[in-house]
Structure 1
Amino acid sequence: MANLTWLYAKAALTGFTRRGSSLPPDVRTARVSVDREHLAAYDRVCGFGVREELPVTYPHVLAFPLQIELMTGRGFPFPLPGLVHVANRITQHRPLLAAEPLDLRVHVENLRPHERGRQFDVVSTASVDGEQVWVDVSTYLRRGGGSGGTEPGDRPEPPRPTGVWEVGGDIGRRYAEVSGDRNPIHLHALTARAFGFRRAIAHGMWSKARCVAAFEGRLPAACTVDVRFKAPVLLPAEVDFSASPTGAGWRFALWSERPHLEGTITG
């Protein structure tokens, strides 16, 4: 797969020249085998137990280099810096095991208006022996040129917490090591300030994985985990995690002074 350090440098150098009104039809593919040491490191950073079964969020980091390669490729209309990851939905059709090689495929689709700009989906899939077993849809927002939204109403009451988590100031660097996502907004306060953040912020996909880890042992074999990313988690932080059963599965959220993440798990 492509070198992520080079791709981030390419994104910084070419970002000002990217213009366009459509998404490219390009597809990126790769066959990957799970490195168990890497899997164990991911498990530790995100709060999972070390097991042969892959966390439902783990294939996302395997597909991430292909996603970045596609979004820095010729014909992609938006600069990578400034894209906001606003949602992620993962559907797993059956448990995946570390011994299974995965055939990954990534494409982009569904460019559409948003009240604050335009949004699109990066779709990643994993197949085993020709059978699609895992689908990840990451929705990104490109700000600018939107219609504007309605005035926000009263801030909703936070749900009652079922856990309180201390998030260390180094979690951005630790997750960057296992995910390859070394966006400077996650690494240090100094580099985050250059992009308008008071402190470094946690990766959205770390926040999602940490929430999913709280359900370990309770997830159905086939499930969909759908989240909306709200406000960033400024590091270090103390955050409240809440989970409540629904008729179809679970609802969960991550809060501090404001909501950071809201999600559902359905079987």
Structure 2
Amino acid sequence: MLVRAALTSFRRGQTLAAQPVSATVDVSLRHLTTYSSVCGFGLRDALPLTYPHVLGFPSQMKLMTGAGFPFPLPGLVHIANRITQSRPLTLDEPLEITVTARDLRPHPQGTQVDVVTSVSGVWEGVSTYLRRTGSGPSSGEELERPVGSAVWRVPADIGRRYGAVSGDRNPIHLYPLSAKLFGFKRAIAHGMWTKARCVASLEGRLPEAVTVDVKFKKPLLIPGRVEFSAVEKDGWEFAVWGKGPHLLGSAA
């Protein structure tokens, strides 16, 4: 898969014609247990809200490395993720997964697209990816640092551990040397690990039918020390901050 991803470096597409990819997946208790441990979830019959994302990852990669997806994968930036479920999925049900791509559109710094993972008609994850082709203005929003409610010490191996359980072994997450090849001072945590860790911190306080929406900001260099904050206000508003914001999110 890494070789296929590397070969997409030669793409220069301008249109979106990727065909949907479908799969049926049975949940492995061993895999679920490992994922829950890496992300901080308790083990129960209902699947963690973010877990179907990793179950759909092979199909996501198949779509994004296949014909019709316009962007090269190297350099593609995951800038946002929104998950909506109408009910929790459970450990014992087979999951019907379909991945599509939609809404190719401009961004101030390039072009963005949504990769949508749908599971059994009750769970949907929308990952927004940015292909940078310019240095346009950022959002310009003034962000006030929230009061932290917990301190997280993010270990140096979290990228390798999450990469092993998610299948996302992008070199920027694994080792300092491999990350430096792509312009980072050291390895960075996966955005979806950071989101999962936030949801795990709110476990038991979110409704069963819920939408959790996040924007990924500054890369979280690992090892690192960050503050997690969560405020209940028409749902939940939460954030992860270091020297600046790494993630801003809401759940309702």
TM-score, normalising length: structure 1:
0.92
The 5-angstrom pairing of residues 31-70 of structure 1 reads: 31-70=24-63
Structure 1 vs Structure 2: percent identity of aligned residues? 58
Unmatched segments (≥5 aa) in structure 1:
1-6
Partner of 1:141, secondary structure, is strand
Structure 1 counterpart of 2:149, one-letter code: T
Offset, 1:15: 2.7
Give the Cα–Cα distance (whole angstroms) in 2 for the partners of residues 38 and 151 of structure 1: 38
C-alpha RMSD of matched pairs (Å) = 1.3
Partner of 1:91: 84
Name 1:10's counterpart in structure 2: 4
Q: What is residue 135 of structure 1 aligned with on the other side? A: 124
Shift of 1:145: 4.3
Segments ≥4 residues shifted beyond 2 Å:
150-153
Amino acid in structure 1 at the alignment position of 2:218: A
Q: Deviations over 1:207-249 (max 9, x none)?
A: 00000000111110100000000001000001100000112x0
Paired residue type of 1:198: K
Say which SS state the counterpart of residue 3 (structure 2) adopts.
Answer: helix
Q: Distance in 2 between matches of 1:198 and 1:150?
A: 22
Aligned residues, how many? 252
Unaligned runs of 5+ in 2: none
Alignment of 1:204 onto 2:191: yes
Amino acid at match of 1:255: W
Q: CA deviation at 1:168?
A: 0.3
- Paired AA for residue 143 in structure 1: R
1:152 positional shift: 4.3
Going from structure 1 to structure 2, the CA distance change for 1:151 and 1:32 (only over 3 Å counts) comes to: closer
What CA distance in whole angstroms lies between the structure 1 residues aligned with 2:64 and 2:114? 11
Shift in Å, 1:163: 0.4
| Matched residue SS, 2:5 | helix
Deviation per residue, 1:137-174 (Å, 9 max, x gap): 0000000047x226847x63310001001100000000
- 1:230-245 alignment, distance < 5 Å: 230-245=217-232
One-letter amino acid of the counterpart of residue 40, structure 1: T
What is residue 100 of structure 1 aligned with on the other side? 93
Deviation at 1:11?
1.5
Partner of 2:147: 160
